[in-house]
Amino acid sequence: MSNGEQLATILHVDMDAFYASVAEKDNPKLKGKAVVVGAGRRGVVSAANYEARKFGIRAAMPVYKAKALAPHAIFISPDMARYEEVSIAVMKIFEEVTPLVEPISLDEAFLDVTGSKRLLGSGRQIADLIRKRVEEQEGITCSVGISHNKFIAKIASNHCKPNGVLEIDPEKVLDFLHPLAAKEIWGVGPKTNEQLMKMGLLTVGDIANTPRSTLIRVLGQASGSSLYELAWGRDYRDVETEHIEKSISASETFDLDLDSQEEILKEFLRLTERGVERMREKGF
Protein backbone atom coordinates (compact mmCIF):
# COMPACT_ATOMS: atom_id res chain seq x y z
CA MET A 1 0.00 0.00 0.00
CA SER A 2 1.40 3.40 -0.96
CA ASN A 3 1.81 6.17 1.58
CA GLY A 4 -1.40 8.06 2.17
CA GLU A 5 -3.60 5.37 0.62
CA GLN A 6 -6.74 4.95 2.69
CA LEU A 7 -7.66 1.53 3.99
CA ALA A 8 -11.24 0.50 3.38
CA THR A 9 -13.77 0.30 6.18
CA ILE A 10 -15.82 -2.86 5.79
CA LEU A 11 -18.75 -3.92 7.95
CA HIS A 12 -20.14 -7.41 8.21
CA VAL A 13 -23.69 -7.16 9.54
CA ASP A 14 -25.30 -10.38 10.73
CA MET A 15 -28.81 -10.67 12.15
CA ASP A 16 -28.98 -12.47 15.49
CA ALA A 17 -30.82 -15.82 15.24
CA PHE A 18 -32.73 -14.27 12.35
CA TYR A 19 -35.56 -16.75 11.72
CA ALA A 20 -36.25 -17.18 15.43
CA SER A 21 -36.02 -13.43 16.01
CA VAL A 22 -38.62 -12.77 13.31
CA ALA A 23 -40.90 -15.34 14.97
CA GLU A 24 -40.48 -13.58 18.33
CA LYS A 25 -41.15 -10.23 16.70
CA ASP A 26 -44.41 -11.51 15.21
CA ASN A 27 -45.40 -13.31 18.41
CA PRO A 28 -44.08 -11.48 21.50
CA LYS A 29 -45.32 -14.34 23.71
CA LEU A 30 -42.29 -16.32 22.47
CA LYS A 31 -39.78 -13.91 24.01
CA GLY A 32 -37.75 -15.44 26.81
CA LYS A 33 -38.60 -18.97 25.71
CA ALA A 34 -36.52 -21.51 23.82
CA VAL A 35 -37.62 -21.19 20.19
CA VAL A 36 -36.53 -23.55 17.42
CA VAL A 37 -37.39 -23.04 13.76
CA GLY A 38 -37.80 -26.52 12.31
CA ALA A 39 -40.59 -29.04 12.22
CA GLY A 40 -41.42 -32.57 11.17
CA ARG A 41 -39.98 -35.85 12.36
CA ARG A 42 -37.32 -35.80 9.65
CA GLY A 43 -36.78 -32.06 9.50
CA VAL A 44 -33.64 -30.20 10.50
CA VAL A 45 -33.24 -27.10 12.62
CA SER A 46 -33.17 -23.96 10.47
CA ALA A 47 -32.48 -21.65 13.42
CA ALA A 48 -32.55 -21.60 17.21
CA ASN A 49 -32.70 -18.57 19.46
CA TYR A 50 -30.12 -18.08 22.18
CA GLU A 51 -32.36 -19.59 24.84
CA ALA A 52 -32.54 -22.80 22.80
CA ARG A 53 -28.82 -22.79 22.12
CA LYS A 54 -28.16 -23.07 25.86
CA PHE A 55 -29.35 -26.66 25.55
CA GLY A 56 -26.93 -27.45 22.72
CA ILE A 57 -29.38 -26.96 19.86
CA ARG A 58 -27.73 -25.77 16.64
CA ALA A 59 -28.73 -25.13 13.03
CA ALA A 60 -28.72 -28.22 10.76
CA MET A 61 -29.32 -30.54 13.73
CA PRO A 62 -32.12 -33.09 13.17
CA VAL A 63 -35.33 -31.91 14.81
CA TYR A 64 -35.72 -35.16 16.74
CA LYS A 65 -32.33 -34.57 18.40
CA ALA A 66 -33.27 -30.99 19.25
CA LYS A 67 -36.51 -32.20 20.84
CA ALA A 68 -34.56 -34.70 22.91
CA LEU A 69 -32.25 -31.94 24.17
CA ALA A 70 -35.08 -29.53 24.97
CA PRO A 71 -38.53 -31.16 25.00
CA HIS A 72 -40.01 -27.96 26.46
CA ALA A 73 -38.79 -25.80 23.53
CA ILE A 74 -41.30 -24.31 21.10
CA PHE A 75 -40.86 -25.72 17.60
CA ILE A 76 -42.28 -23.73 14.69
CA SER A 77 -42.29 -24.26 10.92
CA PRO A 78 -40.13 -21.97 8.74
CA ASP A 79 -41.87 -19.10 6.93
CA MET A 80 -39.49 -18.16 4.13
CA ALA A 81 -41.83 -15.59 2.59
CA ARG A 82 -41.89 -13.71 5.90
CA TYR A 83 -38.11 -13.91 6.31
CA GLU A 84 -37.61 -12.54 2.81
CA GLU A 85 -39.97 -9.66 3.59
CA VAL A 86 -38.02 -8.66 6.70
CA SER A 87 -34.71 -9.19 4.88
CA ILE A 88 -35.71 -6.73 2.14
CA ALA A 89 -36.54 -4.12 4.78
CA VAL A 90 -33.20 -4.67 6.53
CA MET A 91 -31.24 -4.41 3.27
CA LYS A 92 -32.96 -1.08 2.58
CA ILE A 93 -31.62 0.20 5.89
CA PHE A 94 -28.13 -0.81 4.79
CA GLU A 95 -28.58 0.96 1.44
CA GLU A 96 -29.54 4.16 3.26
CA VAL A 97 -26.03 4.12 4.72
CA THR A 98 -24.02 3.12 1.63
CA PRO A 99 -24.74 1.99 -1.94
CA LEU A 100 -21.98 -0.60 -1.58
CA VAL A 101 -23.94 -3.48 -0.07
CA GLU A 102 -23.24 -7.15 -0.82
CA PRO A 103 -25.96 -9.45 0.55
CA ILE A 104 -24.59 -12.87 1.48
CA SER A 105 -27.88 -14.41 2.56
CA LEU A 106 -31.23 -13.23 3.89
CA ASP A 107 -29.69 -12.30 7.22
CA GLU A 108 -26.19 -11.00 6.51
CA ALA A 109 -24.32 -8.60 4.25
CA PHE A 110 -21.01 -6.85 3.73
CA LEU A 111 -21.03 -3.05 3.55
CA ASP A 112 -18.21 -0.84 2.32
CA VAL A 113 -18.71 2.37 4.30
CA THR A 114 -15.38 3.99 3.41
CA GLY A 115 -17.13 6.78 1.49
CA SER A 116 -19.85 7.21 4.11
CA LYS A 117 -17.59 8.14 7.00
CA ARG A 118 -17.29 11.78 6.02
CA LEU A 119 -21.04 12.20 6.44
CA LEU A 120 -21.92 9.61 9.08
CA GLY A 121 -18.81 9.32 11.24
CA SER A 122 -16.47 6.44 12.05
CA GLY A 123 -17.07 2.81 11.21
CA ARG A 124 -18.20 2.17 14.78
CA GLN A 125 -20.61 5.11 14.66
CA ILE A 126 -22.08 3.80 11.42
CA ALA A 127 -22.38 0.31 12.93
CA ASP A 128 -24.24 1.74 15.93
CA LEU A 129 -26.52 3.69 13.60
CA ILE A 130 -27.37 0.54 11.64
CA ARG A 131 -28.03 -1.49 14.77
CA LYS A 132 -30.30 1.24 16.15
CA ARG A 133 -32.32 1.53 12.93
CA VAL A 134 -32.70 -2.25 12.54
CA GLU A 135 -33.96 -2.61 16.10
CA GLU A 136 -36.29 0.41 15.95
CA GLN A 137 -37.72 -0.30 12.51
CA GLU A 138 -37.73 -4.09 12.39
CA GLY A 139 -37.74 -5.12 16.05
CA ILE A 140 -34.74 -7.46 15.77
CA THR A 141 -31.06 -7.15 16.62
CA CYS A 142 -27.85 -7.57 14.67
CA SER A 143 -24.14 -7.85 15.31
CA VAL A 144 -21.52 -5.93 13.36
CA GLY A 145 -17.87 -6.71 12.71
CA ILE A 146 -15.65 -3.88 11.46
CA SER A 147 -12.25 -4.06 9.81
CA HIS A 148 -10.37 -3.20 6.63
CA ASN A 149 -11.36 -6.35 4.73
CA LYS A 150 -14.26 -8.77 4.44
CA PHE A 151 -12.57 -11.76 6.05
CA ILE A 152 -11.64 -10.02 9.29
CA ALA A 153 -14.97 -8.17 9.47
CA LYS A 154 -16.88 -11.46 9.26
CA ILE A 155 -14.83 -13.13 11.96
CA ALA A 156 -15.27 -10.04 14.13
CA SER A 157 -19.06 -10.23 13.85
CA ASN A 158 -18.96 -13.88 14.93
CA HIS A 159 -17.10 -12.84 18.07
CA CYS A 160 -19.52 -10.14 19.21
CA LYS A 161 -22.85 -11.97 18.97
CA PRO A 162 -25.50 -11.36 19.99
CA ASN A 163 -26.26 -7.67 19.54
CA GLY A 164 -22.68 -6.41 19.67
CA VAL A 165 -20.01 -4.52 17.75
CA LEU A 166 -16.36 -5.48 17.39
CA GLU A 167 -13.81 -3.42 15.49
CA ILE A 168 -10.43 -4.92 14.64
CA ASP A 169 -7.74 -2.30 14.07
CA PRO A 170 -5.57 -3.10 11.03
CA GLU A 171 -2.48 -2.88 13.24
CA LYS A 172 -3.88 -5.53 15.62
CA VAL A 173 -5.30 -7.98 13.11
CA LEU A 174 -2.67 -10.67 13.68
CA ASP A 175 -2.96 -10.36 17.47
CA PHE A 176 -6.67 -11.07 17.09
CA LEU A 177 -6.44 -13.64 14.31
CA HIS A 178 -3.53 -15.93 15.12
CA PRO A 179 -4.76 -17.37 18.45
CA LEU A 180 -8.08 -18.42 16.87
CA ALA A 181 -8.87 -22.05 15.98
CA ALA A 182 -7.97 -22.99 12.42
CA LYS A 183 -11.61 -23.87 11.65
CA GLU A 184 -12.56 -20.18 11.89
CA ILE A 185 -10.92 -19.51 8.52
CA TRP A 186 -13.20 -19.41 5.50
CA GLY A 187 -13.08 -22.69 3.62
CA VAL A 188 -11.95 -24.80 6.57
CA GLY A 189 -14.71 -27.36 6.90
CA PRO A 190 -14.58 -30.61 8.88
CA LYS A 191 -12.54 -32.46 6.24
CA THR A 192 -9.94 -29.71 5.81
CA ASN A 193 -9.78 -29.17 9.57
CA GLU A 194 -9.08 -32.87 10.01
CA GLN A 195 -6.18 -32.63 7.54
CA LEU A 196 -4.79 -29.59 9.36
CA MET A 197 -5.02 -31.36 12.72
CA LYS A 198 -3.04 -34.30 11.32
CA MET A 199 -0.35 -31.77 10.38
CA GLY A 200 -0.45 -30.36 13.91
CA LEU A 201 -1.96 -27.08 12.73
CA LEU A 202 -4.53 -26.18 15.36
CA THR A 203 -4.61 -22.38 15.22
CA VAL A 204 -4.59 -19.73 12.52
CA GLY A 205 -1.10 -18.80 13.69
CA ASP A 206 0.06 -22.37 13.10
CA ILE A 207 -1.15 -22.12 9.50
CA ALA A 208 0.47 -18.72 8.98
CA ASN A 209 3.82 -20.09 10.09
CA THR A 210 3.64 -23.08 7.75
CA PRO A 211 5.29 -22.67 4.34
CA ARG A 212 2.83 -21.90 1.58
CA SER A 213 4.34 -24.74 -0.48
CA THR A 214 3.52 -27.24 2.26
CA LEU A 215 -0.10 -26.13 2.43
CA ILE A 216 -0.39 -26.34 -1.37
CA ARG A 217 1.13 -29.83 -1.41
CA VAL A 218 -1.38 -31.11 1.16
CA LEU A 219 -4.51 -29.11 0.27
CA GLY A 220 -4.05 -28.26 -3.39
CA GLN A 221 -3.07 -25.05 -5.18
CA ALA A 222 -6.27 -23.04 -4.65
CA SER A 223 -7.05 -24.07 -1.07
CA GLY A 224 -3.45 -23.97 0.11
CA SER A 225 -2.78 -20.50 -1.31
CA SER A 226 -6.08 -19.10 -0.04
CA LEU A 227 -5.55 -20.52 3.44
CA TYR A 228 -2.06 -19.05 3.67
CA GLU A 229 -3.21 -15.57 2.62
CA LEU A 230 -6.18 -15.55 4.99
CA ALA A 231 -4.01 -16.77 7.86
CA TRP A 232 -2.04 -13.55 7.45
CA GLY A 233 -5.26 -11.52 7.38
CA ARG A 234 -5.00 -10.77 3.67
CA ASP A 235 -8.25 -10.60 1.70
CA TYR A 236 -8.30 -8.48 -1.45
CA ARG A 237 -11.93 -9.00 -2.47
CA ASP A 238 -14.09 -5.93 -2.94
CA VAL A 239 -17.67 -5.61 -1.73
CA GLU A 240 -19.66 -6.63 -4.82
CA THR A 241 -23.04 -4.99 -5.25
CA GLU A 242 -24.12 -7.10 -8.23
CA HIS A 243 -24.99 -10.67 -7.35
CA ILE A 244 -25.84 -13.21 -10.03
CA GLU A 245 -28.25 -15.88 -8.80
CA LYS A 246 -26.63 -19.21 -9.65
CA SER A 247 -29.58 -21.39 -8.73
CA ILE A 248 -33.08 -21.37 -7.34
CA SER A 249 -34.35 -24.36 -5.42
CA ALA A 250 -37.48 -25.68 -3.77
CA SER A 251 -37.29 -28.51 -1.28
CA GLU A 252 -39.28 -30.30 1.38
CA THR A 253 -38.60 -33.00 3.96
CA PHE A 254 -41.40 -35.55 4.25
CA ASP A 255 -42.41 -37.18 7.52
CA LEU A 256 -43.01 -40.50 5.75
CA ASP A 257 -41.33 -42.22 2.81
CA LEU A 258 -42.97 -41.75 -0.58
CA ASP A 259 -43.13 -45.21 -2.05
CA SER A 260 -45.33 -44.94 -5.12
CA GLN A 261 -44.22 -43.37 -8.38
CA GLU A 262 -47.51 -41.49 -8.51
CA GLU A 263 -46.86 -39.81 -5.15
CA ILE A 264 -43.27 -38.98 -6.08
CA LEU A 265 -44.31 -37.46 -9.41
CA LYS A 266 -47.05 -35.41 -7.73
CA GLU A 267 -44.64 -33.92 -5.21
CA PHE A 268 -41.98 -33.40 -7.88
CA LEU A 269 -44.41 -31.36 -9.98
CA ARG A 270 -45.54 -29.37 -6.94
CA LEU A 271 -41.96 -28.46 -6.03
CA THR A 272 -41.20 -27.62 -9.66
CA GLU A 273 -44.14 -25.19 -9.69
CA ARG A 274 -42.85 -23.62 -6.49
CA GLY A 275 -39.42 -23.19 -8.07
CA VAL A 276 -40.95 -21.56 -11.16
CA GLU A 277 -42.86 -19.14 -8.91
CA ARG A 278 -39.62 -18.15 -7.20
CA MET A 279 -37.97 -17.59 -10.58
CA ARG A 280 -40.79 -15.24 -11.57
CA GLU A 281 -40.46 -13.38 -8.26
CA LYS A 282 -36.74 -12.95 -8.96
CA GLY A 283 -37.46 -11.61 -12.46
CA PHE A 284 -36.12 -14.55 -14.46
> Which sequence positions are flagged as catalytic?
108
User: Strand, helix or coil at 169?
Assistant: coil
What is d(CA 257, CA 251) in angstroms, rounded to the nearest whole number? 15
Edge to edge, the sheet with strand 101-105 lists 101-105, 108-112, 10-15, 142-147, 165-167
Residue 200 DSSP class: T
215 contact partners, CB below 8 Å, separation of at least 6: 207, 223, 224, 225, 227, 228
d(CA 61, CA 70): 13
In whole angstroms, what is the distance from residue 101 CA to residue 112 CA? 7
Closest by alpha carbon to 233, among 203, 264, 204? 204
Residues 231 and 211: beta-carbon distance below 8 Å = no
63, 45 in Cβ contact below 8 A? yes
Q: Are 248 and 277 in contact (CB under 8 A)?
A: no
